[in-house]
Amino acid sequence: MSKKNVNPALAQLISFKMDVVCIHEGDHNAYLRASVSRDACFTSNNGIQWKLQQMSDLKAEIATLVEGEGQEVVDVNLAKKIDIFHRMEDELVELQLRHDADLAVYNKVTGEDWKSTPKSVRAKNAQAVLSAAKAIVG
């Protein structure tokens, strides 16, 4: 059986994250280990989504500035925005590395692949939820 080439930084990050999750020893903490690793996946995925949105917004700003190219103020501003965008690309690589490590840890802890669940905009049966809430509150 051949061993996959794993990025050394990724392997180290996985090891560190496993150490953190496995601080919670014993069978009675199995759910806690799964929960901590699931939360890490959720958080790192949200970090990626946030960064992608920031990059999308910045792309729109760059596109607007390109229309006014040739003016010194615009060109200076454009250069700054491009520099920021390139740094965001580098950051996105690091965020993805973090998420890949979180996914690997979740898989090791639970034996399952983590899946992002879309945020629900509204309860499936809003009226039933509202009725149940009113019954609880009184």
pLDDT at position 2 is 43
**Per-block mean pLDDT, blocks of 10 residues, the chain (138 long):** 72 96 94 97 97 96 88 89 97 98 98 86 72 87
What would the two tokens of residue 30 be?
Answer: 């199995």
Q: What's the pTM?
A: 0.78
pLDDT at position 1 is 39
Distances (CA, A) of 96 to 17, 52, 122: 15, 11, 30
The CA distance from 1 to 129, in Å, is 53
Which residues does 14 contact at the CB level (< 8 Å), separation at least 6?
101, 104, 105
Q: Is 2 helix (H, G, I), strand (E, B) or coil?
A: coil
CA-based nearest residue to 44, from 88, 115, 96: 96
pLDDT at position 122 is 56
Which residues does 73 contact at the CB level (< 8 Å), separation at least 6?
none
**DSSP label of 29:** G
pLDDT at position 5 is 72
Reduced 3-state DSSP string for 52-97: HHHHHHHHHHHHHHHCCCCCHHHHHHHHHHHHHHHHHHHHHHHHHH
- Show me where the domains of the chain are located: 8-113
pLDDT at position 129 is 83
